[in-house]
Amino acid sequence: MHGQSGSNKPTNNNYHMNSVALNNLWSYIQGLALTTSNKQWLADHLYEDVKGKKDSRLQITADDLILSPEILEPVKGITPLPDDFDLDKARLDYLMKKYA
């Protein structure tokens, strides 16, 4: 069984990176000299990797979300999204608009 040092959690396809690891990854990506087409390529490949996995709904916890208070405030009290809402695509679209 593989895992992080001192952890009994196995590393497999269902293991979710914690928010610290995701923030580190994001900081690394932001430090790269990526053109708009490089960013689009990366977004497309990330999206392609997850879009075929719709049958197994992602289990997202508060620790997985990296949202600012400005983003969270307008959505307080909103009813849940419909089952066909594509959260992964929405996130990628948001990031592409924000950082393109």
**pLDDT tens figures, 30-83:** 899 989 999 999 988 888 887 766 545 566 666 666 667 777 777 777 777 777
Is the per-residue pLDDT at 4 higher than 50? no
In this predicted structure, what is the pLDDT of residue 58? Answer: 60
Domain parsing of the chain, residue ranges: 33-99
Tell me 33's DSSP state. Answer: -
70 sits in which H/E element: helix 69-72
Is the per-residue pLDDT at 13 higher than 80? no
**Which residue reads 């909103």 in tokens?**
78
For residue 74, report the phi and psi dihedrals to the nearest 5 degrees: -65, -20
Pairwise CA distance, residues 86 & 82, whole Å: 9
Tell me 85's DSSP state. Answer: -
Buried-state track 47-60, b at ≥16 Cβ within 10 A, e below 16: beeeeeeeeeeeee
Total-model pTM: 0.36
